[in-house]
Amino acid sequence: MALKKSILWFKRDLRLSDNPALVAAAQSGEVLPVYIVEPLSSSEFERGSASKIWLYHSLKSLNSTLNNHLNIYTGDPVKILLDLTQKHQIETIFWNTCYEPWSRENEKRLIENLKSQSVSYDFFNGTYLWKPKEIKKNDGTPYKVFSAYKREAWRLSPREPLEIPGTLSLIKDTDNQTTVEHLKPDPVPAWSKKITSFWDFGESAAQKKLKDFTQKGLQNYKKGRDFPDHNNTSCLSPHLHFGEISPHQIREALKSAKESDTPKEDLHHFFSEITWREFSCYLLYHFNGLPSDNFQSKFNHFPWEENPAFLKAWQTGMTGIPFVDAGMRELWQTGYMHNRVRMIVASFLTKNLLIHWHKGRDHFWDCLVDADLANNSASWQWVAGCGADAAPYFRIFNPVTQGEKFDPEGNYTRKFVPELKNLPNKYLFKPWEAPEKILEKSDIVLGKTYPKPIVDLKKSREKALSAFQFLKNNPLDS
């Protein structure tokens, strides 16, 4: 008797372990594993340069674990899947759902077509701990405040991680000529080599990083996570985004860490960060305009400024503000930026420079290996003050005092701004205050070897406060 055939549609779940759709497909019979590079309806959110690099290497790793049986296609996923269903006499299509607006639309179209053709389907939650639609306030409306959402979410018990199926019978579409190599970025960005030397890709790398973090970085996480030269950040975000690891697996690792006497405050603080990722997806699910529309409509009237020169200086790490420049250069060199520094550079752009958060959103989208529509959108709106449960309008990070507090020895800043490596700590974060003799001794000529500040921090802060105060006093509707 011939085995039933199914399609496993890989999306943001590029792993074999804890993959509900994979488990269901394996139990049904033979499996045609498929990954589809789908064109987006809006070029605004086409996959960024750094994400393309990660995706290519992640798919290479996944294909290897599948013994080169991963089938790659490009185009409309609904048409491709329907064609494959006919060609291979597929009885069921399995996938783990995604919550970006275009993904939800494609899944909806697929289901409608499958129903009309009497082809069965099943989809699962393999990407988040909680389904966005299952958490609501008593009146049925979605939460807009993180702390309230977290309290409700933490009352629910997510499922346990799943093992890799013991038997996996895979089908290869021998007529398909597209391979993973066709997804290799061309031309390869100049900074690709730096990214690939900084990261390891794939499921095994993600599991190793989780193990290393729980053993070495989780201790003192609550305090140490704010210091960019400490090893107290997990760097799991790109692995999570591409689904090389699941939040369920991370939660399980935290349970094990609890048994090994890891301080409760460190465990809770890290799990709270995982929950913020869930909350961002939750907001995107309930408020589809999150990537583009101000969550607080009064910001539709905010007096943002157009300043291409300032924006370019910020993007290239040449603002003359060392802690900001260090963060922007870390982003360019590694495709990543420490979370504390992300808040500082975002605050500088939106408040000291008064440049629209869209500009920052777009740059991060292109340069971050962990670029995620929900996280990127929610976090930029939070810093800019226009998001859900946002930072108050008067919270403007001072990059000088932030550097002095969270990079006290200057290790992080000197690593990414080597022009200032000889400058004493006293002046490292404010070289414009250094006496001429100190600058000369440190081989620094402001305006030549390192930029002068593009704005005065005190005056730009006062200007931002005036703009926000005007908005507060004139609450116009959109």
The amino acid occupying position 227 is: F
Please tell me whether residues 278 and 351 are part of one structural domain: no
Q: Which of 95, 130, 357, 365 is catalytic?
A: 357
Is 409 exposed, middle or buried, given 0-12, 13-18 or 19+ CB atoms closer than 10 A?
A: exposed
> What is the structure's pLDDT at 300?
92
Is the confidence at residue 375, as pLDDT, over 70?
yes
Does the annotation count 339 as an active-site position? yes
- pLDDT band of residue 1 (cuts 50, 70, 90) is low
CA geometry: angle at 362 spanning 472 and 405, to 5°?
A: 65
Tell me, yes or no, whether 154 lies in a domain: no
Residue 9 phi/psi, 5° resolution?
-95, 100
CB-CB contact of 323 with 360 (8 Å):
no
Mark whether 312 and 391 lie in a shared domain.
yes
Q: What is the dihedral of CA 142, 388, 345, 477, to 10 degrees?
A: 140
* Amino acid of residue 429: F
- Do 225 and 353 fall within a single domain? no
Catalytic residue among 288, 307, 339, 425: 339
Residues 192 and 245 both lie in one domain: yes
Q: Which of 276, 404, 422, 432 is catalytic?
A: 276
The domain that holds 464 is classified in CATH as 1.10.579.10
Q: For the residues 172-184, what does the mean pLDDT come to?
A: 94
Are 276 and 341 in a shared domain?
Answer: no
130 is catalytic: no
Whether 19 is a known active-site residue: answer no
To the query of whether residue 273 is one of the catalytic residues in this protein, the response is yes
Q: What value does the mean pLDDT take over residues 437-462?
A: 97
Q: Is residue 448 part of a domain?
A: yes
Q: What is the pLDDT of residues 239-279, one digit of tens each?
A: 999 999 999 999 999 998 877 788 999 999 999 999 999 99
Lowest-pLDDT choice from 90-94, 181-185, 227-231, 244-248: 181-185
Q: From the candidates 106, 380, 398, 419, which is the catalytic residue?
A: 380
- Domain with 233, as residue range(s), is 188-286
Who wins on pLDDT, 259 or 231? Answer: 231
To the nearest whole number, what is the mean pLDDT of the chain? 94
> Among 106, 126, 146, which residue terminates a domain?
126
Q: How many domains does the chain have?
A: 3
List the catalytic residue out of 154, 304, 307, 425. Answer: 304
Q: Confirm whether 314 is a catalytic residue.
A: no
Task: From 254, 286, 318, give the residue that closes a domain.
Answer: 286
Give the pLDDT band of residue 471 (cuts 50, 70, 90). confident
Asked if pLDDT for residue 309 goes beyond 70, the answer is yes
Strand partners, 71: 34
The reported pLDDT for the residue numbered 478 is: 41
Q: At what angle do helices 399-406 and 322-334 cross, to 10 degrees?
A: 70
User: What would the pLDDT profile of 209-230 be if each residue is shown by its tens digit?
Assistant: 999 999 999 999 999 999 999 9
Q: With respect to residue 323, please indicate whether it lies within any of the assigned structural domains.
A: yes
Question: What is the rounded average pLDDT of the residues 90-110?
Answer: 95
Residues 461, 352 contacting (CB under 8 angstroms): yes
- Are 252 and 336 in a shared domain? no
For residue 276, indicate whether it is catalytic.
yes
Q: Is the dihedral of CA 237, 243, 248, 254 positive or negative?
A: negative
Question: Is the pLDDT score of 192 beyond 90?
Answer: no
pLDDT of residue 41: 55
Give φ, ψ of 473 to 5 degrees. -85, -10
Closest-CA residue to 8 (of 62, 46, 55): 62
Q: Looking at 30, 38, 91, 273, which residue is catalytic?
A: 273
Q: Which of 13-27, 32-46, 51-65 is least confident?
A: 32-46
Q: Is residue 292 part of a domain?
A: no
Q: Check pLDDT > 60 for residue 125.
A: yes
Output the domain CATH number for residue 271: 1.25.40.80
